[in-house]
Structure 1
Amino acid sequence: MPPPPNPNFRNRTIGVSTPGGLAVPPTTTKPPVKPSKKREKVALAPGHSPLDWAALKSSGKDLRGVDSLMRIPPSVLKVHNTREDAWSAFNGKVYNITAYLSFHPGGEKELMRVVGRDGTKLFALTHAWVNVDFMLDSCMVGFLVSEPSS
């Protein structure tokens, strides 16, 4: 006679008896795993690691390029769309990401996709685990607002 079931065992399965009297749990199959799109990382230049970025942003160097925080409509954001003057908005905040371009693990090219525009959706799709407010806090230039009505 088999031993009574363990009351502490929550996920009981009905097993198959073997000649020796041992119960073998039934096999289960896992659903096929959808292949994920592998993130591309690029080799960063020496002195451009995440730790180097942390040191730069806490160095006191002006990474904003503005004297005070501003209210920035999309038409103004759109003007800052070059490698030498790169602004982008994330979650309603506008950042001057010019200094950060060469530190981005995915490379400048990927980050340039959101320069001069609101990159919130793309950021959420690819970097949901990253705290953008902390990463770019020293680069914040203002808040994204609606276009002024005429």
Structure 2
Amino acid sequence: MQSNRLNVSKPIAPSRRGVRLKPGYSQLDWNNLVQTKGSRGELITGVNELLVDSEFQRINGHQQMRLIENGVPLFRIRNPSININKKILQRHQISKEDFWGVYKGKVYSLSRYLEYHPGGIEIILNNCKKNVDMTAIFNKYHPWVNMERLLETCYVGIYID
């Protein structure tokens, strides 16, 4: 007689190694942070530097600059969105305290999220620096995750070449 029980001790597919998150850095904690600080635009790093960046001023219009100067969170600036080119992006990939990445052609400030990533900080830092757009590598390992929803209050703008 054959048993219908699953053998749960054997993994179906090879597992990926995660990292142990510090207390207070679960997905629920991230959601709470998004609803509090994120809604006020406090999860985006490097905003003040943009106001004095001549390259940023060159590729963005007066309307966007005025909105930033008035304290409108970057994720709320649409039509037109903020433009970010490779030169500006690279300035925000030097340290984890002010780190941006590109997903589906959109730039996100990842600094505040890094500690919440179950796969660890280094994998994000390394992949964003290696690939301008991290969409392919992200979707390879997280096809079920809605990145745009997860990081909606970390949205900086559109990546342009």
Q: Take 1:37 and 1:112, find their aligned partners in 2: how far apart are those partners? A: 24
| Partner residue, 1:74 | 86
2:41 is the counterpart of 1:64: no
Quote how far apart the aligned CAs of 1:113 are: 1.9
Provide the secondary structure at the position in 1 that maps to 2:15: coil
Bigger strand share: 1
C-alpha contact 1:71 1:143 (8 A) present in aligned 2: yes
CA deviation map 1:22-41 (0-9, x unaligned): xxxxxxxxxxxxx7442211
TM-score by length of 1: 0.68
RMSD after superposition = 1.7
**Runs of 5+ consecutive residues of structure 1 not aligned to the other structure:** 1-34
Q: Take 2:14 and 2:122, find their aligned partners in 1: how far apart are those partners? A: 18
Quote how far apart the aligned CAs of 1:64 are: 1.6
Number of residue pairs aligned between Structure 1 and Structure 2: 112
Letter in 1 for 2:136: K
TM-score by length of 2: 0.64
Q: Take 2:91 and 2:43, find their aligned partners in 1: how far apart are those partners? A: 18
Provide the secondary structure at the position in 2 that maps to 1:130: coil
Q: Which entry has the higher C-alpha Rg, 1 or 2?
A: 1
In 2 relative to 1, CA 98–63 (structure 1 residues): closer, same or farther, beyond 3 Å?
same
**Runs of 5+ consecutive residues of structure 2 not aligned to the other structure:** 1-11, 48-67, 69-73
Quote how far apart the aligned CAs of 1:140 are: 0.5
Write out the 4+ residue segments of structure 1 that deviate beyond 6 Å after TM superposition: none
